[in-house]
Amino acid sequence: MELSHPQAVIRLQDITAELERLGEKKDLTTEDEQLFDELTREFAQVDAHRRKLERDAALAKVRSAVQVTDRLPAAAALRTERGTPVNSSDGYDTDPILNPDSVEDCRFRNPWDLSEVRTWSRSKQEINAEMRARAKSAVERMGGANDHVRSAATSIIEQFDDGDARISRLCLATSSPEYLRAWSKMAAGRRELVTAEEQRALERAMSLTDSAGGYLVPFQLDPTVIITANGSRNQIRQVARQVVATGDVWNGVSSGAVAWSWDAEATEVSDDATTFAQPSIPVYKAAGFVPISIEALEDAANVTAEVARLLSFGRDTLEAAAFTTGTGVGQPTGIVTALAGTASEIPVTTAETFALADIYKLDGALPARYRANASWLANRAIYNLVRQFDTSGGAGLWERLPGDVPPMLLGRPALEAEDMDATWDTAAAGDNYIMIFGDFSNYVIADRVGMQVEFVPHLFGNSNRPTGQRGWYAYYRVGAGVVNSAAFRLLNLETTV
């Protein structure tokens, strides 16, 4: 028998399902009885083959541990990488269960069926590795997703999944066809249409949440995945470093440049050690509510896609303000908040006057190592004022001057943020932070995958009577902050040199 262990398990399940089907019949035909006998014999043969593979795997592991050199050639006693020939006569050092020797063995007939995952004699690392392989296989096959979403989902799994495979498990639980159908019915308020199989899919996903609250948005519709895949209207997110957090706090590592030195021959190297820091970014809960009339809900052609679009748009709008001026108390820390009052704050040359010289001053104040990847950030009103500095083009500020607000200022991207200060009024009191120049990869946005949505079947007015509306209550978590303030310069209009 040439079946691998995963193939044998799948075949046993198929045989069992067919036997159950025959067993439910009241009267069996001659063909049914013959098929029942054949399947019973095949089950015994395949099951015996499966058990032999497991014994062989266990024996191979024991032999590898004790290095039984009296039974194996010397070369075979050495551990080698999977798929690497030991020598021409010994073949490959492979485990028939744990180390599939072909790419096809890493593809799954049904990646969402976790009952196929074998835990016997396997380490936590091996099981989690299979979870990640299954999650990537699921991404390839999940419905309701385009190629951009699939690419972003795969990237999230490969880059940010942790040692417990939490993101992979979340993907498997919330990307299956059964879960997508169930969530769509729940979003439309048609819970009575959820089948038993779909209910089990909902329960599996619920077991991964921190509370027994709402239902997780399907992985392929999660705003984190969609924003990563299709881009964000929030231009800070477009250039910031985006990471995925699996806990309440994202912890990173940062350091200054290594202090290289010139050392003479045969002399002790000088102390060139750098100082490492561990910046942390807490994630905060954000919530939104989407009301809809009963009539509109009944007439909606594709309520699932519409709800996902509204959630994504609302989240992007909320974050745009937080990433600019967020207080850091119960919400992300905005970039202006993080830089204000630090050494990165630069005053204008003349008090309460924004002039052409201040743009060059801000550019020159940023260290060269950050300037190569730097971008500008300001309100559109400030860019319009800057355009007036260069009406003739003689100052050489803008690229492609004739077209709207030019995308490049002094050769660097000019990004918009509506929540940046838009006034240069000399009568305005307090600080006016009107422009930022810096490397935005040092501003980190930590998304926690797994937005949850609860369907509210009826909304009530002030008199506690139904309003004829329903709604969706959604909540998720995100954090943001500057991990290296030296990479930015913030222009303050209200102070002087």
Per-residue pLDDT of the chain (497 residues; tens, 9 = 90+): 667 888 888 888 888 888 888 888 888 888 888 888 888 988 998 899 888 888 888 887 777 666 444 444 444 444 433 333 333 334 444 444 444 444 444 567 788 888 888 877 788 888 888 899 999 989 988 887 888 888 989 999 988 888 888 899 999 989 998 988 888 888 777 788 888 888 888 888 887 776 556 788 888 888 888 777 766 678 898 889 988 887 788 887 766 566 777 888 888 887 766 666 678 899 999 988 888 888 877 766 566 667 777 777 888 888 889 999 999 999 999 999 999 999 999 998 887 888 888 999 999 999 998 998 999 999 988 988 888 886 655 556 666 544 555 578 888 889 998 888 887 655 455 678 999 999 999 999 998 888 888 888 889 988 889 999 888 888 889 999 999 999 999 999 875 44
| 96 burial via Cβ count (<10 Å: 0-12, 13-18, 19+) | middle
Residues 314 and 420 in one domain: yes
Q: Are 421 and 493 in contact (CB under 8 A)?
A: yes
Domain containing 17: what range?
A: 1-106
Residues 436 and 334 in one domain: yes
Residues 89 and 49 in one domain: yes
| Rounded alpha-carbon distances, angstroms, from residue 185 to 79, 135, 194, 363, 456 | 52, 24, 7, 54, 13
Last residue of some domain: 46, 76, 106? Answer: 106
Q: In this structure, is residue 376 part of a structural domain? A: yes
| 97 burial via Cβ count (<10 Å: 0-12, 13-18, 19+) | buried
pLDDT of residue 366: 94
Q: In this structure, is residue 267 part of a structural domain? A: no
Q: In this structure, is residue 260 part of a structural domain? A: no
Last residue of some domain: 106, 130, 158? Answer: 106
What value, to the nearest 5°, has the Cα angle with vertex 114 and ends 62 and 451? Answer: 130
pLDDT of residue 258: 64
Residues 102 and 115 in one domain: no
Residues 333 and 245 in one domain: yes
pTM of structure: 0.68
Q: Are 384 and 405 in contact (CB under 8 A)?
A: yes
Residues 404 and 287 in one domain: yes
pLDDT of residue 336: 94
Residues 340 and 484 in one domain: yes
Residues 449 and 339 in one domain: yes
Residues 160 and 42 in one domain: no
- 196 CB contacts (<8 Å, ≥6 apart)? none
H or E stretch covering 304: helix 303-325
- Amino acid at the residue 307: V
Q: In this structure, is residue 262 part of a structural domain? A: no
Residues 232 and 381 in one domain: yes
Phi-psi region of 330 (alpha: psi -120 to 50; beta: other; left: phi over 0): left
Residues 98 and 135 in one domain: no
pLDDT of residue 85: 38
Residues 166 and 199 in one domain: yes
pLDDT of residue 60: 78
Q: In this structure, is residue 261 part of a structural domain? A: no
pLDDT of residue 104: 44
Last residue of some domain: 162, 180, 213? Answer: 213
Number of domains in the chain: 3
Alpha-carbon span 398 to 229, nearest angstrom = 30
